[in-house]
Amino acid sequence: MATIKVPDHVPSPAEDCEQLRKAFQGWGTNEDLIISILAHRNAAQRSLIRKTYADLYGEDLLKELDKELSSDFERIVLLWTLEPADRDAFMVYEATRILTRNNLAIVEIACTRTSIQLYKVRQAYHARYKRSLEGDVAYHTSGDIRKLLFPLISSLRYEGDEVNQTWAKSEAKILHEKIASKEYNHEELIRILTTRSKAQLLATFNHYNNEYGNAINKDLKADPKDEYLKLLRTTIKSLTFPERHFAKILRLAINKLGTDEWALARVVASRAEIDMERIKEEYYRRNSIPLDRAIAKDTSGDFERMVLELIGHGDA
Amino acid sequence: MATIKVPDHVPSPAEDCEQLRKAFQGWGTNEDLIISILAHRNAAQRSLIRKTYADLYGEDLLKELDKELSSDFERIVLLWTLEPADRDAFMVYEATRILTRNNLAIVEIACTRTSIQLYKVRQAYHARYKRSLEGDVAYHTSGDIRKLLFPLISSLRYEGDEVNQTWAKSEAKILHEKIASKEYNHEELIRILTTRSKAQLLATFNHYNNEYGNAINKDLKADPKDEYLKLLRTTIKSLTFPERHFAKILRLAINKLGTDEWALARVVASRAEIDMERIKEEYYRRNSIPLDRAIAKDTSGDFERMVLELIGHGDA
C-alpha cells in the first residue's frame, strides 16, 4: 500500500550518484533531476545511493543536499533520504527542542511504528545523539505529558493477536471510571494505554463502547483544547486506526491558514512507503477531494512536486 | 571473567544428548552425569544440545529435566540450561508473581544487562507470555515501586562513555535536593536514575560525593527497612558496581538462617559465564572466605555440586 513508484529498470547506484552530482553542479541546482531520482527509489535503494555517493565522491549525500536545497523542499528531501529509523530518531529529537516542540509527533511515532522499528529508532538515537531517546523525551517534558510520553515511547508492545477478554472487560471498566471522574492522568489509565498490545486495546475499546455507550475518544473530548487530553486521543486513534490519524493530520496541515509543511513532510516522508494508499482513501472519505488535488491547491514549487511524486497523483 | 570450564575436546551435541538420555533412564536419575555435561558447556553449546535433543528424541530437554529433577537442584539446572534472554524473561515473570514476588531481582536484571540484552529479554517475554514484560511489571506493582521499576525495565540506556559534566553537576544537585527533602519518589530523581547512561551516572554520583560529602547510597539509608529506598540503593549499586552488588546478594543468601537457594541460583546461573570471577574477588574482599568454601559449608547434595562446578572451586 505504498504510493512511491520505482521504475522497472532502476539505474545502478553509481549512475544515480552521477546524476545527482550533476544536479548539484553548474549554475543553480537541478531540483527536477533530484526529485526524479530520489522520489522513485525505495529505502534500500536510497541507502545504497547514499553509501555509493560517499564512496565515489567522499561526501555525505545528505550534507550535499543540505548545501544545495533550502526551506520546506530541503526538509522533505532530507527526511525522505534518511533511513526510516534514523528519520524517526531525528524527528523525535526535533520534537523535543524548544523551537520545534511537538508532543503530538512523539505520540504518533510511538504508536504507529512496530516494536522492532521502535527499537531501531532508539538505537539510531544512541548513535546520533549519544544519549537515550526516552531520556531526552523525559528531560524535555514534565507533569502529565511526561507521565504519558515516557512509557509510550519506551514500551515495546506485544504484537500477536491474542486477546484476553477478561482483561478487556476489567480494563474497560478502569478506563471508564477514571474518565468519568476526570482522573485522566491516573497511573492505571496510562498503564493500560501504554503497555497493552494493539489487539488487546482494540478489544478493550470495543468493550468500552458497548458497555458505556460512547467511543472512548468521545468521552475524552471534555476539553478539546487541553493538550494532554488531545495527546490521549491521538494515542488511541493512532494505535487503533493509524490511517485515519494520518489523514486527519494531513487535513489539518492543509486547511490551516498557511499550510503546515512540517506536518505534511513528516507524514508523507514516513508513510509513502508504508500505507499512504490507505491514508489517501481515508482522506477522500472524509474530505471528498483527493489528497493530491488538495495538496496541489495548497502548496507550490519544488515542495509540491516532491510531495506529489511521493504520494502519486492524477490517479484519483 | 567467566568461571565455567569447557573441556578442550567437547563431545558433539549428539553425543552429549545420548549421555543425557542415559542419565534419565534406568533406575533413578544420574545427577552427576547431568552436571558433568551441562555445567561444562557454554550458552551456545547448551542451546545446540537442546535443539539436537529435540531433533533426536522429539522431546524438549527442559521438560525432561523438569520430570527427572526436583527442588533447588532442578531450578538451577533449568535456569542454567535456558538461553540467557529466555532465562531473564522467566525470572522477571517469576518475580512479578505473588508467591515468588521479587522486586529486587527486577532491578538487578534491569541494571546489570546491556541494552541489547534487555531488548532480547523483552522479545523473549513476548514469545513466552504473549504480552509485554514492562506491561506485566506495571500490572503487578503500584505506587512508588511501579514509578521506579517501569522506567528502569523499559529504558534502553546509551552505552557510550561520553560524559556531560554540566549535567553531572546539575543532576547531582537535583538528586541532593530531593534526597535532602526526603522526596525519594520525585519524578526528576527517577528520570535521572532510569534514563542516564552508566558512564554519565558515575560522573553524577562522583560529583555528588565530592560536593555534598557523602556517597549517594549513604544518604539513601535514612530508613534501611523501607523497600522503595532499598530498591533505589540497589539500582545505584548495580548500575555502578555490579560485581559488588552480586557479591552482596550472595553473602545475604548464604548468611541467612536457611540458605536462600533461589537468590544463589539466580546469581550463579546468570553470572557464571559473565563476571563470576570478579564477583568472587569482591566476595572474598568483603567476607575473608572464598565464595566456594562459603557455599560448600552452607549447601549440600546435587545443588551444591552444580553450583560449585559453575563457579569453580578449590582454586581460591
Q: Does B176 touch chain A (CB under 8 A)?
A: no
Inter-chain contact B131–A197, Cβ cutoff 8 Å?
yes
Residue A70 makes CB contacts below 8 A (sequence gap 6+) with: none
The DSSP letter of residue A11 is P
Distances (CA, A) of B67 to A129, A253, B74, B185: 50, 63, 9, 45
Q: Measure CB to CB from residue A132 to each of B119, B126, B157 and give the nearest one.
A: B157
Q: Considering only CB atoms, which chain B residues are within 8 Å of A122? A: 156
Q: Does B225 touch chain A (CB under 8 A)?
A: no
Inter-chain contact B158–A134, Cβ cutoff 8 Å?
no
Residue of A nearest to B124 (CA): A158
Q: Does B120 touch chain A (CB under 8 A)?
A: no
State the average pLDDT over residues A17-26: 93
Q: Does B73 touch chain A (CB under 8 A)?
A: no
CA distance A168 to B279: 45
- Asked whether the predicted pLDDT for residue A26 surpasses 80, the reply is no
Q: Does B134 touch chain A (CB under 8 A)?
A: yes
- Full 3-state SS string of chain B: CCCCCCCCCCCCHHHHHHHHHHHHCCCCCCHHHHHHHHCCCCHHHHHHHHHHHHHHHCCCHHHHHHHHCCHHHHHHHHHHHCCHHHHHHHHHHHHHCCCCCCHHHHHHHHHHCCHHHHHHHHHHHHHHHCCCHHHHHHHCCCHHHHHHHHHHHHCCCCCCCCCCHHHHHHHHHHHHHHHHCCCCCCHHHHHHHHHCCHHHHHHHHHHHHHHHCCCHHHHCCCCCCCHHHHHHHHHHHHHHCHHHHHHHHHHHHHHCCCCCHHHHHHHHHHHCCCCHHHHHHHHHHHHCCCHHHHHHHHCCHHHHHHHHHHHCCCCC
Kindly list the averaged pLDDT for each block of 10 residues, start to end, along chain B of length 316: 92 97 90 96 97 97 95 97 98 96 98 98 98 97 97 97 97 98 97 98 97 96 92 98 97 90 97 97 95 95 97 72
Q: Considering only CB atoms, which chain A residues are within 8 Å of B150? A: 151
- Asked whether the predicted pLDDT for residue A144 surpasses 90, the reply is yes
Report pLDDT for B258: 85
Q: Considering only CB atoms, which chain A residues are within 8 Å of B149? A: none
Q: How many helices (DSSP H) and strands (DSSP E) are in chain A? A: 20, 0
Report pLDDT for B182: 96
Report pLDDT for B316: 40
Residue of A nearest to B155 (CA): A154
User: Which of the four pLDDT bands, split at 50, 70 and 90, describes residue A89?
Assistant: very high
User: Which of the four pLDDT bands, split at 50, 70 and 90, describes residue A316?
Assistant: very low
Q: Considering only CB atoms, which chain A residues are within 8 Å of B130? A: 158, 160, 162
Q: What is the pLDDT of residues A268-305, one digit of tens each?
A: 999 999 999 999 999 999 999 999 999 999 999 999 99
Q: Considering only CB atoms, which chain B residues are within 8 Å of A191? A: 135, 138-139, 146
Count A/B contacts: CB-CB distance under 8 Å: 93
- Asked whether the predicted pLDDT for residue A315 surpasses 70, the reply is no
Report pLDDT for A51: 97
Q: Considering only CB atoms, which chain A residues are within 8 Å of B120? A: none
Q: Considering only CB atoms, which chain B residues are within 8 Å of A123? A: 156
Q: Which amino acid is at A100?
A: T
| Widest distance between CA atoms in chain B | 68
Residue A227 makes CB contacts below 8 A (sequence gap 6+) with: A103, A145
Inter-chain contact A158–B135, Cβ cutoff 8 Å?
yes
Burial class (CB in 10 A: 0-12, 13-18, 19+), A283: buried
Inter-chain contact A126–B200, Cβ cutoff 8 Å?
no
Report pLDDT for A222: 85
Q: Measure CB to CB from residue A187 to each of B126, B146, B196 and give the nearest one.
A: B146
Q: Considering only CB atoms, which chain A residues are within 8 Å of B195? A: 132, 134-135, 138-139
State the average pLDDT over residues A112-129: 98
Nearest to A128 by CA among A91, A89, A77: A89
Q: Measure CB to CB from residue A191 to each of B126, B138, B197 and give the nearest one.
A: B138
Residue of B nearest to A149 (CA): B151
End-to-end CA distance of chain A: 15
The ipTM, to two decimals, is: 0.88
Q: Does A132 touch chain B (CB under 8 A)?
A: yes
CB atoms within 10 A of CB B137: 26
Nearest to A175 by CA among A233, A227, A230, A223: A233
Q: Does A162 touch chain B (CB under 8 A)?
A: yes
- Asked whether the predicted pLDDT for residue A201 surpasses 50, the reply is yes
User: Which of the four pLDDT bands, split at 50, 70 and 90, describes residue A103?
Assistant: very high
The DSSP letter of residue A27 is S
Q: Does B195 touch chain A (CB under 8 A)?
A: yes
Inter-chain contact A132–B156, Cβ cutoff 8 Å?
yes
Residue of A nearest to B191 (CA): A138
State the average pLDDT over residues A220-239: 95
Q: Considering only CB atoms, which chain A residues are within 8 Å of B200? A: 131
Give the pTM: 0.92
The DSSP letter of residue A12 is P
DSSP E strand boundaries for A77-167: none
Inter-chain contact A158–B197, Cβ cutoff 8 Å?
no
Residue of A nearest to B148 (CA): A151
Inter-chain contact B131–A187, Cβ cutoff 8 Å?
no
Q: Considering only CB atoms, which chain B residues are within 8 Å of A132? A: 155-158, 195, 197
Inter-chain contact B154–A154, Cβ cutoff 8 Å?
yes
Report pLDDT for A28: 86
